[in-house]
């Protein structure tokens, strides 16, 4: 039986976040350059976006380029930026047909001009879509996002708009890039690495974590459904006891 058929449709996570890892190792298996892995990673992105739409995930956030990734060799960074522009150009019509909206989180202004323009073009074109929201984390890191939020709150305290006593979880949420999204209920990382790598640290406080040895270019929608199936069989206690949840 397929994992898709085992899913409980009214228990689909509203927000799934994915750390797409293993492109370089996947390429190395075939004696190829790392960029070969990134190119094939796009097929996994396509399949996962399709799958998330099919089962009614509300938000799918993909860690596509971290702040730390700028330190990679220039050729690899250029190849990734080129791939991003190409994928957005080629996939936007399909996303429109599938009613998928696009959002970006991260330091967008640090991206090359042509990437920023292509993202704006696609976001505008998909603006009226009301199905899945695909969120690309680009030039993103959680510590950067938190520091930016703290700076902006400090400015508002300085100008008298915010009183320090008003600073609480809700206020902090409002200053994050993800202010209008629910927190991820499920975080998936591929390639067997069991770490978070500066991704959505605030937002995953109570997320279920799912690690799979599959390398990202091999990941497909059925793997997403398997992760969601696993999620549906976990007990989420949010600090309470099992007995409290039962009563
Ligand atoms: C991590 O694998 C992957 C990335 C840093 C880039 C992810 C990009 C894509 C999947 C392609 C473009 C994306 C979109 C949204 C169109 P790695 O290079 O760290 O692999 P390794 O750990 O095996 O070296």
Mean per-residue pLDDT, 230-238: 89
Q: Which of 3-12, 13-22, 217-226, 238-247 has the lowest mean pLDDT?
A: 238-247
Which backbone phi and psi does 224 adopt, to 5 degrees?
A: -65, -45
pLDDT at position 247: 78
Q: Which of 209, 203, 195, 216 is nearest to 64 (CA)?
A: 216
- What pLDDT sits at residue 79? 98
Return d(Cα 184, Cα 4) in angstroms, integer: 20
In what order do the strands lie in the sheet containing 15-19?
101-105, 133-140, 59-66, 15-19, 186-189, 208-211
Q: What pTM was computed for the model?
A: 0.96
Query: φ, ψ for residue 136 (rounded to 5)?
Result: -95, 125
pLDDT tens by residue, 166-192: 999 999 999 999 999 999 999 999 999
- 177 assigned to active site: no
pLDDT band at 246 (very low <50, low <70, confident <90, very high): confident
In contact, 245 and 237? CB cutoff 8 Å: yes
Confidence (pLDDT) at 153: 98
∠ CA 171-148-130 to the nearest 5 degrees? 65
- Looking at the DSSP bridge assignments, the partners of residue 29 are none
CA 229 – ligand 1 centroid, Å: 25
State which ligand 1 atom lies nearest to the alpha carbon of 88: 16
Give percent of the chain with pLDDT exceeding 70.
Answer: 100
**pLDDT tens figures, 198-213:** 999 999 999 999 999 9
**Residue 233 annotated as catalytic:** no
* Active-site hit among 5, 10, 32, 69: 69
User: CA 31 → CA 34, 35, 37, 90, 247, distances in Å?
Assistant: 9, 12, 11, 28, 57
Give the residue with greater pLDDT, 246 vs 159. 159
Residue 98 is predicted with a pLDDT of 97
Predicted pLDDT of residue 240: 84
Q: Ligand 1 centre and the CA of 242: distance in Å?
A: 38
What pLDDT does 245 receive?
83
Q: What span, in angstroms and rounded, lies between the C-alpha atoms of 137 and 141?
A: 8
At 70-92, the pLDDT tens digits run 999 999 999 999 999 999 999 99
221-232 and 34-55 helices cross at what angle (nearest 10)?
60
The matching CATH number, chosen from 1.10.390.10, 3.40.1180.10, 3.30.300.30, 1.10.645.10, for 10-141+184-234 is 3.40.1180.10
In this predicted structure, the answer to whether residue 115 has a pLDDT above a threshold of 80 is yes
Q: Is the pLDDT of residue 244 over 90?
A: no
């Amino acid at each position: 039986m397929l994992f898709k058929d085992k899913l409980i449709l009214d228990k689909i996570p509203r927000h799934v976040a994915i750390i797409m890892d293993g492109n370089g190792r996947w390429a190395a298996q075939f004696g190829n350059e790392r960029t070969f892995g990134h190119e094939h990673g796009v097929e996994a992105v396509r399949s996962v976006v399709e799958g998330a739409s099919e089962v009614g995930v509300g938000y799918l956030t993909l860690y596509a380029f971290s702040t730390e990734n700028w330190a990679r060799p220039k050729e690899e960074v250029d190849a990734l930026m080129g791939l991003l522009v190409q994928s957005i150009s080629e996939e936007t019509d399909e996303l429109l047909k599938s009613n998928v909206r696009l959002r970006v989180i991260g330091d967008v202004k640090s991206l090359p001009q042509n990437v920023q323009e292509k993202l704006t073009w696609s976001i505008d074109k998909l603006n009226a879509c009301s199905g899945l929201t695909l969120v690309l984390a680009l030039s993103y890191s959680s510590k950067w996002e938190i520091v930016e939020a703290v700076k902006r709150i400090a400015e508002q305290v300085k100008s008298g708009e915010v009183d320090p006593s008003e600073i609480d979880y809700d206020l902090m949420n409002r200053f994050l890039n993800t202010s209008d999204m629910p927190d991820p209920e499920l975080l998936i990382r591929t390639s067997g690495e069991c770490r978070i790598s500066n991704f959505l640290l605030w937002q995953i406080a109570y997320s279920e974590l799912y690690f799979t040895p599959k390398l990202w270019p091999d990941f497909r929608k059925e793997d997403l459904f398997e992760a969601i199936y696993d999620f549906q069989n976990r007990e989420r206690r949010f600090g309470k006891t099992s007995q409290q949840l039962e009563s």
